[in-house]
A and B are shown apart, each in its own frame.
Chain A
Amino acid sequence: EAQVTQNPRYLITVTGKKLTVTCSQNMNHEYMSWYRQDPGLGLRQIYYSMNVEVTDKGDVPEGYKVSRKEKRNFPLILESPSPNQTSLYFCASSLLAPNNSPLHFGNGTRLTVT
């Protein structure tokens, strides 16, 4: 089944403890992206990747890192999480860039930082 898989679905952590949220797609998509969703703020883009080894900042990149060493994987790294990073996170992929093909979203990761 074609899908975008995020792990974990739920994560509770403490301030400053490094964490990684994984994202994998099995559709051979070139484009991958991370978003955070907060009440009243919609979906905001954190980072995106147009292809392997190519990443760039979205609208809210501060406090996050990403890497794209393989086409299928695009992990989101929080080196030193803070409470303001408590949010619902979505990974998404598309065959080409989102201006030419629709986005496929993962099921989300709900992160709580205490």
Chain B
Amino acid sequence: GENVEQHPSTLSVQEGDSAVIKCTYSDSASNYFPWYKQELGKRPQLIIDIRSNVGEKKDQRIAVTLNKTAKHFSLHITETQPEDSAVYFCAAYLTSDTNAGKSTFGDGTTLTVKP
């Protein structure tokens, strides 16, 4: 995977508000973008992923948007709930890369949802 920059590093929102986390990548050929959620004291788990043949993907309150021109993708969480509080990691990959064992994540965003 290539290096990605993730912002913000911390995000605090009120319950019910929306949260947006953004990641930028440098290789315009990257075409697979997963997001992982890590609750406190637990393992990271995939929550949503998107491939470059689509611009947006939704799963209930979670959505990911991809802007290939600007080389960034974003995680959107609507109607946030306290259980959304976690660290979120992004990654970017080129699916045709035959040397694809390298796996680099963004630095993570700590989301806090205040009741």
Residues of chain A having any CB pair with chain B under 8 Å? 31, 33, 35, 40-43, 45, 48-50, 56, 58-59, 90, 97-100, 102-103, 105-108
A98 x B1 contact (CB < 8 A): yes
Having A99-B1, A102-B34, A107-B42, one finds 13 other A-B pairs with CB under 8 Å, namely A42-B89, A42-B107, A42-B108, A45-B104, A50-B101, A58-B102, A98-B34, A98-B101, A98-B103, A99-B97, A103-B34, A105-B43, A106-B43
Bound state CA distance, A43 and B1, in angstroms? 13
Residues of chain B lying within 8 A (CB to CB) of residue A97: 97, 100-101
**In the assembled complex, how far is the CB of residue B14 from the closest CB belonging to chain A, in whole angstroms?**
26
B25 contacts chain A at the CB level, 8 A cutoff: no
Query: How distant is the Cα of A50 from the Cα of B102 in the complex, in angstroms?
Result: 10
Q: Tell me the bound Cα distance from A100 to B89 in angstroms.
A: 17
* Most A CB within 10 A of own CB, among B94, B102, B106: B102
B77 vs chain A, min Cβ distance (A):
19
Asked whether B101 lies within 8 Å of A105 as measured between CB atoms, the reply is no
